[in-house]
Chain A
Amino acid sequence: QVQVVQSGAEVKKPGASVKVSCKASGYTFTKYGISWVRQAPGQGLEWMGWVSAYSGHAEFAQKFQDRVTMTTDTSTDTAYMELRTLRSDDTAVYYCAGTGIIAAATLDYWGQGTPVTVST
């Protein structure tokens, strides 16, 4: 069965970087993409971007263009999202999701979420 497992909670200071991992199993990783979505406390879902595990091509929401990197490691079926220059309003749960497996652009299989706290 498909599983998507993310790395554990992080606490960072403002200005630091965070790198979240997302390991997929149960499907052919390189045929699809991985999307990243975040959710601030008590708020809705915010699409950050996605990366093709096949080509490495990534697309980002404009607000993250200058601060985010999304990569994949096909040797371990793992995706990574690095967010730099963290601010307090980056405090959120960060989700990854296997994308495009069931249908085009659908976020099909979600990880459990990685809480990231940005605080002095």
Chain B
Amino acid sequence: EIVLTQSPGTLSLSPGERATLSCRASQSISSSYLTWYQQKPGRAPRLLIYAASSRATGIPDRFSGSGSGTDFTLTISRLAPEDFAVYFCQYYGSSLGTFGQGTKVEIK
């Protein structure tokens, strides 16, 4: 069973700063099935990045994804006020889905 570990748990940054979020898999996975979601309080998650590096429709280009094998990264180049939220990575493989525990990006 694949385990996804996200770090850090919380990232305290100011608007305009760069955010780098990590998602590490317990074994090598296909980047085709590595996805990132954003969730704001009281709201359903929203698809951000699929196949490790492709932005979903309507997602600003300040969001980017990268990585392969066991190490994946979500980068927000310059934080906008609406980007403060919780971010989850997710993998689907071998008929099972799994989420990382999430990284909260909070205002410093």
Contact = CB atoms under 8 A, between A and B. Distances in A.
Interface residues of B, number: 25
Interface string B37-69: 101000011110011001011000000000000
Interface string A27-50: 000000001010000001111011
Contact of B97 (A47, A95, A102): A47
B50 A102 contact: yes
B95 A107 contact: no
Contacts of B54: 103
Nearest to B102: A44
Nearest to A111: B44
A70 B90 CA distance: 21
Residue among A50, A59, A61, A103 facing the most chain B CB atoms (10 A cut-off) = A103
B33 A44 contact: no
A112 B33 CA distance: 24
B85 to A, nearest CB: 13
A108 B56 CA distance: 9
A66 B25 CA distance: 27
B98 interface: yes
Interface of A: 35, 37, 44-47, 49-50, 59, 61-62, 95, 102-108, 110-113
26 contacts: A37-B45, A44-B100, A45-B37, A45-B88, A45-B99, A45-B102, A46-B99, A47-B90, A47-B99, A49-B97, A50-B97, A59-B96, A61-B96, A61-B97, A62-B96, A102-B57, A103-B50, A105-B35, A106-B35, A106-B47, A107-B37, A107-B47, A110-B44, A110-B45, A111-B44, A113-B44
Interface of B: 32-33, 35, 37, 39, 44-47, 50-51, 54, 56-57, 88, 90, 92, 95-102
Q: Which 10 A-B pairs have the closest CB atoms?
A: A47-B97, A105-B92, A110-B44, A45-B99, A103-B50, A106-B50, A59-B95, A44-B102, A44-B101, A105-B33
